[in-house]
């Protein structure tokens, strides 16, 4: 039987789906730039240390891949359009997609923002055969989110994931239970989970190039070459044996953001500004998810790649950027670094809980409205006018591209830096007219 199977194939018993968004970050970014559809587009960080987050299939045709240095991507595809990431948009779209999945089945196991396993066994009676459910999901993702996805339908998680990869982009592939080996065995050994570059080299020295080659080697040979655990696992996968169930993900326990500088930084004021920016991004993600957290963590990586972290637990949970920033700055300043060359900084909040289940007690001297209300108002402005429409004055850049620090004020004081509205090109305002 052919290894490439149509959606009309026998899907009885194939209740496991793997749904994977196509070029997710690039696809979401293109929703605001429809004129770039069908052209090479690369989403990633700028500068000498930036990396590719995602690329359209037109850019991939030139060899551009995720995690590749942006400088190399520019050399491979100089005609591509390079866009900065919009993580808030990616989080919103991902939340919408996962919520859609949960309207079909409660058994949803997200693997990342853009992919998940689903067990639709309980939905078959209500919605029809698994392939029909898969097509329903594809149609609704396209209609509701304006992006495409590929779906693998199979009797196991292993085969479902491989099937979704084989159906990309914008495809649907069903692998019937009696055709699993016909599908698996022609694949390269690198298609299996756990086979990275080094493992592939070991298998290559044994003359094992395909999954079929792997399947017909005695298990004890693989255990001797790769170790007991890895050898046994690969032999089982080569024969399509995978009994793992779809396990709904536990609630997220932390969220945060980090930034690698284009060149090493030794100016504490620049570090403080970046901590403020990262605190804002972290707080926005908390509010978007309806979470608050109690423990603030700061991460610092030096020019020699030495990395340290420091944390502090607050008296009350928070989703307020200024509270997160004040704690993060205090942790950083407590390190006592004197002109240390810093490569990366990060801010993370741990110990998350749902906001609606976390009552907040006002202090006696606290205003009825304060930073929480201001930041929520900023969220509403960002939803209408685009990300970055409102930000602390410290983060507003002048026409020269430098932070506007006029007046000699220290950027650390939250009271010295109220939110300001910044002007944006109408084309960046989330598709809304100016």
- What does the alpha-carbon distance between residue 205 and residue 356 come to, in Å, rounded to a whole number? 57
How many CA within 13 A on the CB side of residue 275? Answer: 29
Q: Are 264 and 333 in contact (CB under 8 A)?
A: no
Q: Which residues of 295-310 are buried (b: 16+ CB within 10 A; e: fewer)?
A: bbbbbbbeeeeeeeee
Q: What is the largest CA-CA distance in the chain?
A: 75
Annotated catalytic residue: which of 115, 284, 323, 375?
115
CA–CA distance from 7 to each of 20, 162, 340 (Å)?
Answer: 16, 15, 58
What is residue 11's three-state secondary structure? coil
What is residue 110's three-state secondary structure? strand
139 is in an annotated binding site: no
- What does the alpha-carbon distance between residue 37 and residue 23 come to, in Å, rounded to a whole number? 12
**What is residue 9's DSSP assignment?**
S
- Between helix 268-289 and helix 371-385 the angle, nearest 10°, is 80
Q: Kindly tell me the burial class for residue 161, based on how many C-beta atoms sit within 10 Å of its own C-beta (0-12, 13-18, 19 or more).
A: buried
Cα end-to-end span (Å), the chain = 57
Q: Are 248 and 109 in contact (CB under 8 A)?
A: yes
Q: Are 234 and 194 in contact (CB under 8 A)?
A: yes
Phi-psi bin for 97: left (phi > 0), alpha (psi -120 to 50), beta? alpha
Residue 419's nearest CA partner among 380, 364, 367, 362 is 380
Residue 131's nearest CA partner among 69, 162, 175 is 175
Strand intervals (E) in 218-358: 254-265, 291-302, 307-318, 342-350, 353-354
- What does the alpha-carbon distance between residue 41 and residue 305 come to, in Å, rounded to a whole number? 31
115 in active site: yes
Phi-psi bin for 16: left (phi > 0), alpha (psi -120 to 50), beta? beta
Q: Are 64 and 101 in contact (CB under 8 A)?
A: no
114 is in an annotated binding site: yes
Tell me which residues are annotated as active site. 115
Q: Residue positions in the annotated binding site for Mg(2+)?
A: 20, 114
Q: Binding site: which residues?
A: 20, 114
């Amino acid at each position: 039987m052919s290894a490439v199977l149509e959606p009309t194939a026998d899907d009885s018993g194939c209740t496991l789906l793997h749904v994977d968004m196509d070029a997710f970050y690039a696809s979401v970014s293109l929703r605001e730039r429809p004129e770039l559809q069908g052209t090479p587009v690369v989403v990633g960080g700028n500068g000498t240390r930036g990396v590719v987050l995602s690329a359209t299939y037109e850019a991939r045709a030139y060899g551009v891949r995720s995690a590749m240095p942006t400088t190399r991507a520019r050399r491979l595809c100089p005609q591509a359009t390079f866009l900065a990431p919009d993580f808030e948009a990616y989080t919103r779209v991902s939340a919408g997609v996962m919520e859609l999945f949960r309207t079909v089945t409660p058994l949803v196991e997200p693997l990342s923002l853009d992919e998940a396993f689903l067990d639709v066994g309980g939905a078959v009676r209500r919605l029809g055969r698994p392939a029909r459910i898969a097509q329903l999901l594809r149609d609704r993702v396209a209609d509701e989110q304006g992006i495409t996805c590929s779906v693998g339908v199979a009797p196991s998680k292993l085969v479902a994931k491989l099937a979704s990869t084989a159906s990309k982009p914008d495809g649907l592939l069903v692998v019937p239970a009696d055709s699993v080996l016909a599908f698996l065995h022609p694949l390269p050994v690198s298609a299996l989970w756990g086979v990275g570059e080094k493992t592939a080299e070991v298998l290559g020295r044994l003359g094992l190039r395909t999954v079929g080659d792997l399947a017909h080697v005695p298990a004890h040979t693989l255990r001797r070459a790769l170790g007991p655990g890895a050898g046994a696992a690969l032999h089982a996968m080569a024969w399509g044996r995978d009994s793992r169930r779809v396990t709904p993900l536990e609630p997220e326990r932390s969220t945060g953001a980090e930034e690698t500088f284009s060149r090493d930084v030794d100016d504490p004021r620049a570090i403080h500004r970046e901590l403020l920016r990262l605190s804002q991004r972290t707080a926005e993600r908390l509010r978007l998810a309806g979470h608050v957290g109690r423990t603030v963590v700061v991460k610092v990586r030096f020019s020699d790649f030495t990395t340290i972290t420091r944390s502090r637990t607050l008296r009350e949970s928070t989703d307020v950027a200024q509270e997160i920033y004040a704690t993060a700055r205090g942790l950083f300043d407590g390190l006592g670094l004197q002109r240390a060359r810093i490569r990366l900084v990060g801010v993370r909040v741990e110990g998350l809980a749902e906001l609606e289940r976390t009552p907040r007690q006002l202090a006696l001297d606290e205003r009825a409205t304060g930073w929480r209300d201001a930041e929520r108002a900023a969220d509403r402005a960002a939803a209408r006018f685009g990300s970055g429409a409102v930000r602390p004055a410290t983060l507003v850049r002048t026409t020269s591209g430098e932070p506007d620090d006029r007046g000699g004020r220290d950027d650390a004081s939250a009271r010295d830096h109220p939110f300001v509205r910044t002007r944006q090109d109408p084309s960046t305002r989330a598709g809304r007219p100016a």
